[in-house]
């Protein structure tokens, strides 16, 4: 797992397109490499609050992806998103 990019802010918005990104070979004997990327976009709502959306993208490359994937997720490629909020307590 690697941090690939620094967050960028413009006005009250922020964006980190490759917050966590990388690849994984689940089994050495299989021709399958899994790739993942987690990105975040959001808004600074106040001096102590923010909100945003995190997106996770998963994919697989190789001739054995159909063998490797069912043990991890039902089907690749896939993506999902969820919203979040955060605040700091003084």
Alpha-carbon distance of 75 to 69, in angstroms, equals 7
Q: What is the pLDDT of residues 5-57, one digit of tens each?
A: 555 655 688 888 888 999 999 888 989 999 999 999 999 888 888 999 999 99
Half-sphere exposure of 21 (CA within 13 A, CB side): 12
Residue ranges of domains in the chain: 8-85
Q: Which residue has the higher pLDDT, 82 or 69?
A: 82
Alpha-carbon distance of 22 to 36, in angstroms, equals 6
């Amino acid at each position: 797992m690697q941090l690939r990019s620094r967050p960028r802010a413009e006005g009250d918005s922020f964006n980190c397109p490759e917050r966590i990104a990388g690849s994984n070979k689940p089994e050495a004997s299989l021709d399958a490499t899994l790739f993942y990327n987690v990105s975040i976009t959001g808004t600074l709502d106040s001096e102590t609050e923010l909100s945003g959306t995190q997106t996770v993208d998963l994919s697989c490359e190789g001739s054995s992806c159909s063998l490797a994937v069912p043990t991890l997720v039902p089907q690749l490629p896939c993506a999902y998103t969820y919203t979040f909020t955060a605040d700091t307590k003084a």
